[in-house]
Structure 1
Amino acid sequence: MIDALFGSKTRVKLLHLFMNHPGQSFYVREITRLIDEQINSVRRELSNMLQVGVITSDSADNKLYYEVNQRYDFYAPLRAIFANEPLDTSKPSAGGDEGVVRQQYLSAIENISSLRLAVLAGVLVKGSTSDVDVLLVGTLPPAKVKSAMAIIEKLEGREINYAVMPYDEFYYRLSVRDKFITQILNTKHAVAIDKDNVLSQKK
């Protein structure tokens, strides 16, 4: 039934493979062995999936490796269908409402001591085109940051791209309209924490 829905048995097997192994890459002959399909069929479907953005590719050791694109727009629903451990969809995402911060995100971020500013964007905010999902500003303990990001990644079911920088560096880069900062702030985003009202002053 699902083969007919997605048009190809090989494609379905590939989706099962990639969605069950986010963050892991495979080369063609390895994939062929794992899903037990002909190499020509595998190559054809990999090309199709690359074209629509479901997977990405990278070369290493004279081999081309393929990996699921966790930033693909429909990654979450596809993973819910094909992964053995589907995402928890019982909690609504805050990304759909501009300026609304999902309470679970805020709870995780608030536990980071010395945090002065936190901005959500990218895959966490609907309509955002930022490559960075979370920007954290302050002199922050790495272990606390890692723990908070792990919570958000578990909620999202995907890797999160985050950036951390000291407050003085952030304020300077904001004042000179640094490309990295403006790329985050000029698209849709949600300010989770702004203890110094630095972004409010810029409005």
Structure 2
Amino acid sequence: MTNTKTMLYKYIQNMAKQVRDTLKSLFSSSVRADILALLLNNPDEKFYVREIATLIRKNPSGVKRELDNLEKMGILTNKKVANLKYFQAEKKSPLFSELKNLITKSLGIPGALKTLLKTSGAKLAFIYGSFTENEDAEPVDLFIVGPSSNNLESIKDIEEKFKKKISTTIIDENEFKSKKEISDADLEKLLSGDKILLIGKL
């Protein structure tokens, strides 16, 4: 092996070790993993510390510490507005795409959808149909109560990641309440069947 090839080989080994060490440190705490799941799956959204703590149900002081660590690593960026410091995924980070894919796949479809819908304004969301018994089944039937906003566009990203069709039904909260009040047959059948609850309570 020539000196040039030897140097290149050592450089690649070095880079690979750095990436492995970075990934290991990124997932060394459950708080950090939850923060990454939330922010990397909502890369266009900005969150302040207490908001993140509420969404991932963790102690604010621990969340703040991990946010500062992730910012130092270049994974997150921040912007101060008035007295609040907002954090956001740093999309220019060389690790952004790989981390986002890794987190999405490790969560599975239910976990990825749950993380996405946490910030969507949805009051209720669940998976129903054949996927509840067989994760290889397709399409994945998803029912959402709440504003449609950009949910469908974001759900397309999850479809692409998992190479699986997601059939989504979205109704607003008033329509859902009205159908429940009149004991709508289709809704009652849906609610009484097997489901994977993602957001809200039945």
TM over 0.5: no
Larger Rg: 2
Higher helix share: 2
Query: TM-score, normalised to structure 1's length?
Result: 0.39
